Chains A and B, each alone.
Chain A
Amino acid sequence: AQRVTQPEKLLSVFKGAPVELKCNYSYSGSPELFWYVQYSRQRLQLLLRHISRESIKGFTADLNKGETSFHLKKPFAQEEDSAMYYCALKGSGNTGKLIFGQGTTLQVKP
């Protein structure tokens, strides 16, 4: 079965602290994984994709096939990072559909 699991519903940290949002997946083959973010009163939008190996707004995510994980990290959290974060897996086949995790709310306190 293709599945994405985000074990934490809420992660609360202080400004300047490191952040790690956990994501585990279940997939046969080579997965394509993404992080989407939804800021307050905004649309769900792409944050980053593992293929690009990019850093967006200071966030990075590394695909670990051995642990089937794709955790999102940032060394120093900012208050503006407070949002809902969803890990997503591109489903098999050529439909391009995304399978989302349950989401983690990141709360960065001043």
Chain B
Amino acid sequence: EAEVAQSPRYKITEKSQAVAFWCDPISGHATLYWYRQILGQGPELLVQFQDESVVDDSQLPKDRFSAERLKGVDSTLKIQPAELGDSAMYLCASRSDRGYTGELFFGEGSRLTVL
């Protein structure tokens, strides 16, 4: 069964360093989301792509976060420089545009620890 792939699963970095996360959505899913989940909280949307275009990045801290999906398939989320408060799980999700009924398919997530 097709699944959303994310890497790395775990990342430990020191503050002020750069980190990057990669996501490969389910084949054929044009819409891709990056969510951030701080421990004890629910997922919060950072950015949404439709193909290679950003649809919603209103909650993305653009001074340090960037996201791209150059060919409309896989996507990269970057943080530079990382801060202590960025420690969280970064979740990628994708969905089909055909007959969308609210089901997002999530990856396993990338857990970031900033020291």
Contact = CB atoms under 8 A, between A and B. Distances in A.
A109 interface: no
* Residue from A88, A95, A98 having most chain B Cβ neighbours under 10 A: A98
Contact-size category for A: 20 to 34
Contacts of B109: 43
Contact-size category for B: 20 to 34
Contacts of A6: 42
State the main secondary structure of chain A at its contact with B: mixed
A97 B101 CA distance: 11
A43 B40 contact: no
B100 A101 contact: no
A51 B56 CA distance: 25
Interface string A95-109: 111111111000000
Interface of B: 3-4, 31, 33, 35, 40-45, 48, 55-56, 91, 93, 95, 100-104, 106-109
